[in-house]
Amino acid sequence: FGSHWDERLFHTELMGAKFNIRNLLSPLTLALMEDTGWYVADYSASSISPFGHGAGCDFADEDCLRNGVVPPYGRGNFCDMEMFVSDGTLANFWTCDPGRTHIAL
């Protein structure tokens, strides 16, 4: 661990390396704060991210893409083609960039 959670595993986490207004404060981050001994967390203020939730160990241990295709454990979390989706406002848009396809060793 460094100063942020691993973006590959905690993409929607407030303590992830990239800021996004829709990022969530997770129980994991609150537990880290409590473990410092400086804070008492209010876990009712946290949210469990749907990103990777329930996807199993392969989600964390294996590549995002296999032979250019999203494997079953990554469906709904990773993409195999570049996408941009918008509802016409700047507040609600989503992108998918398949450029980040492997975990660091």
As a residue count, the chain comes to 105
- 36 vs 21, more confident: 36
> How confident is the model at residue 103, as a pLDDT?
43
DSSP state of 51: T
> How confident is the model at residue 86, as a pLDDT?
63
Segments making up each domain of the chain, as ranges: 1-51, 55-105
Residue whose C-alpha is closest to residue 21's, from 95, 97, 91 = 91
At 73 the three-state DSSP class reads helix
- For residues 8 and 17, the answer to whether their CB atoms sit within 8 Å is no
Q: What is the percent of the chain with per-residue pLDDT over 90, rounded to a whole number?
A: 25
Residue 4 has pLDDT above 90, yes or no: no
Residues 87-98 pLDDT 10s: 665 555 555 655
Computed over every residue of the chain, the mean pLDDT equals 78
Alpha-carbon torsion 10, 15, 21, 23, what sign?
positive
Rounded CA separation 86/105 (Å): 34
> How confident is the model at residue 68, as a pLDDT?
79
How wide is the angle at C-alpha 18 spanned by C-alphas 36 and 32, nearest 5°?
15
Binding-site residues for Zn(2+), please? Answer: 4
Residues 61-102 pLDDT 10s: 988 888 878 888 888 777 776 666 566 655 555 556 555 544
> How confident is the model at residue 13, as a pLDDT?
87
**CA gyration radius, the chain:** 15
> How confident is the model at residue 105, as a pLDDT?
34
Rounded CA separation 69/67 (Å): 6
Binding-site residues, please? Answer: 4
